[in-house]
Chains A and B, each alone.
Chain A
């Protein structure tokens, strides 16, 4: 039994309204928000993208709304999706296919599948077969982190996306338009960085579920609307009556693609963990720092990806620094421990785990690991595991 089972008090008033809006967006698997946005102007187009990262600025500069597709979570019944995938393949693609074949992605005019793993890669081809009338593009992000080769190739990849989206919107991606988009997304980066800083400083003001819902909202809203939402949230949360509890501070790694259900996040908090850092919805903050707003905007995006993006399992670690990075990050966010979680059957996350675990071991940072699926519905075992972990840290840990 956990020593602490407190949870952050529910949001109230305006804060509750804001969290309610974010929750409605999270639940909006029919993409009503996108339909509404498009309804304001029949020329509007929306492009869906899969985890982890795509340069949203390019899609935006071509006049389309980039919409993140993160699967169906625990919110949809998989009727047909399972018949497309063997039991030993992770859950995300089956819910994505379910969304597609049930017509829920109808508001989207095209799709970008970034290179992250073989499942997403092959899913891009499945979309080409199943949604032959839509523009479907596989984005090969460079694994060669050299400006001269990987950078050059990435420039070409981005140009292909720009042309593909422009063909749908009729809007050419000029340098000026791209710089404007970078500016908007930079504002969003700053807001998210501030939110993250607030969370590290006062995690009781930013409960994990609310933080998560805000991140998810960035995948449906235009950037300026989302930035406003994050800013409003921080203002309201700072003045809320939430107080610190006797929880441990944990950092989460391994949830960069298939997402844990909200219930799992709630469970972790109930088990006495404040989540002070994680890799949920990673594409929303993959390049955490603002990019240069003048000069060659394509180069800004290239350098952002090559040199400033966060470490993750789907990116090849050229200089074998991921161990040092995970340890450093845990220290920077003052994490008492780390949760190494991973979607079942996820090769990238699960093959990364032993490397991270060894690094944490060496650094004397406690960790525990478990698997989940986006539709996991039973949290008892996870609750006990996380509770025991939290208790052990409280009793003997680094606090």
Chain B
């Protein structure tokens, strides 16, 4: 592998994130209001439109995981009465809160002025904010986002979400912000969202080439950062994705494989589709188990949790509330299980994958319940090898490196053997 070179896009993203945390740190002095909300189905454009600052507790949890803090945080939450069995994102957040709510920059995060509860794709979000509501003296605004149980978004579903936005969510946000939503600005923002979405899709689909210039899981989680969090609908995001697009185009032109922490991957031996979130506490180690074997993830479902754009959805400035509704309902974990199977099958075929792998995380029933059926169905439908490993998002107790490495090695051998046979 060649030596790692920092991409400009990576620097750009870092600057954007630090600027956001700096704003959060100064929120009180600057008189800015803070809204806690979740990644899937987030309403970033609206919050930005009103000058409100979002905090995303899942991002805090994953960043704490990457910084090796979640073991302690989870322990604190469990000592405070939370069960060992439940989602560790919630416990990591509660433990962090009980430890002073210090963010990744070392400064405490501001308390929320409002909890914006959209539970797109996950019921645990409901409980999470019920718990936070009891820690902070602030209002909660509910946005009920219906699930695509029948595999599609119907007009009454769309109307229900749009009505809630217009009649409940927006008035509450406006009250907090002390000003009205600027709809002209919102349309501009949505236009910018769509521009960034175009580039993101282009980047993700670049993995259809051989060799793939990206890793759509381990690299992908960085690529989705700005658009899934506080930057969708901003010029910052548009510029970031243009920069990224340019860099990936260059890699394609140069016939290069994906960037890894140890430089460019020289030989693409296996093309894999991955279902399920990554592990954050041993993220690098986990990644190494893939690139060390020459495995490249060419498509993943996790990079669709905060928006599923590669089926054609784009934020549409001509119908702001309806488009926000469609966005909320379209996130990956809001898809029915049969539709998740269809999507993964399509990825396996479209990206000419050698096989697929499920990382089943203990925390997340939203992802995990039903994954063994997904495994069977995909094997049946595609004839490609399926692998299954278990870990967790941020609980280091559930990342057994030796075990996972063994399983992955056997899995890649299985892929190899199957390939040899055919």
Are A146 and B336 in contact, CB atoms less than 8 angstroms apart?
no
Whether B106 is near chain A, meaning CB under 8 Å from some CB there, is: no
Whether A350 is near chain B, meaning CB under 8 Å from some CB there, is: yes
* Residue among B133, B156, B167, B368 making CB contact with A89, cutoff 8 Å: B368
Whether B147 is near chain A, meaning CB under 8 Å from some CB there, is: yes
Q: Specify the chain A residue showing the minimal Cβ separation from B90.
A: A351
Are A121 and B368 in contact, CB atoms less than 8 angstroms apart?
no
Whether A125 is near chain B, meaning CB under 8 Å from some CB there, is: yes
Give chain B interface residues in 119-137, CB to chain A under 8 Å.
Answer: 119, 122-124, 126-128, 130-131, 133-134
Q: Specify the chain B residue showing the minimal Cβ separation from A156.
A: B156
Given A126-B337, A129-B377, A143-B142; A357-B365 close (CB under 8 Å):
no
Highest count of chain A CB atoms <10 Å: which of B81, B124, B144: B144
Q: Specify the chain B residue showing the minimal Cβ separation from A127.
A: B337
Question: Number of B interface residues, CB 8 Å?
Answer: 54
C-alpha gap A119/B123 in the complex (Å): 9
C-alpha gap A358/B131 in the complex (Å): 12
Given A117-B365, A149-B163, A153-B160; A129-B81 close (CB under 8 Å):
no
Provide the residues of chain A in CB contact with B368, threshold 8 Å.
Answer: 86, 88-89
C-alpha gap A129/B338 in the complex (Å): 6
Are B85 and A350 in contact, CB atoms less than 8 angstroms apart?
yes
Give chain B interface residues in 163-192, CB to chain A under 8 Å.
Answer: 163-164, 167-168
Count of chain A to chain B residue pairs whose CB atoms are closer than 8 Å in the complex: 160
C-alpha gap A317/B130 in the complex (Å): 7
Are B142 and A144 in contact, CB atoms less than 8 angstroms apart?
yes
* Residue among A116, A128, A371 making CB contact with B123, cutoff 8 Å: A116
Whether A218 is near chain B, meaning CB under 8 Å from some CB there, is: no
C-alpha gap A313/B369 in the complex (Å): 19
Give chain A interface residues in 285-311, CB to chain B under 8 Å.
Answer: none
Whether B366 is near chain A, meaning CB under 8 Å from some CB there, is: yes
* Residue among B87, B123, B373, B377 making CB contact with A121, cutoff 8 Å: B123
Q: Please choose the segment from A174-182, A185-193, A258-266, A341-349 that sits at the chain B interface, where 4 or more of its residues have CB less than 8 A away.
A: A341-349
Whether B362 is near chain A, meaning CB under 8 Å from some CB there, is: yes
C-alpha gap A133/B340 in the complex (Å): 20
Given A118-B365, A142-B144, A143-B142; A124-B372 close (CB under 8 Å):
no
Q: Specify the chain B residue showing the minimal Cβ separation from A137.
A: B149
Given A83-B372, A118-B123, A126-B370; A144-B164 close (CB under 8 Å):
yes
Q: Give A residues with C-beta under 8 Å from B.
A: 83-86, 88-89, 93, 113, 115-119, 121-126, 128-130, 137-140, 142-144, 146, 148-150, 152-153, 156, 313-314, 316-318, 320, 342, 344-348, 350-355, 357-358, 371
Q: A121-B147, A130-B373, A140-B147 are in contact. List 13 more A-B contacts (CB 8 A).
A: A86-B368, A117-B123, A122-B365, A125-B338, A137-B149, A148-B163, A148-B167, A152-B160, A156-B160, A350-B82, A351-B124, A354-B81, A371-B85
5 contacts between A and B (CB under 8 A): A117-B365, A121-B149, A152-B163, A153-B157, A351-B87
- Leading 7 A-B pairs by shortest Cβ distance: A125-B337, A138-B149, A351-B127, A122-B370, A118-B365, A350-B83, A122-B369
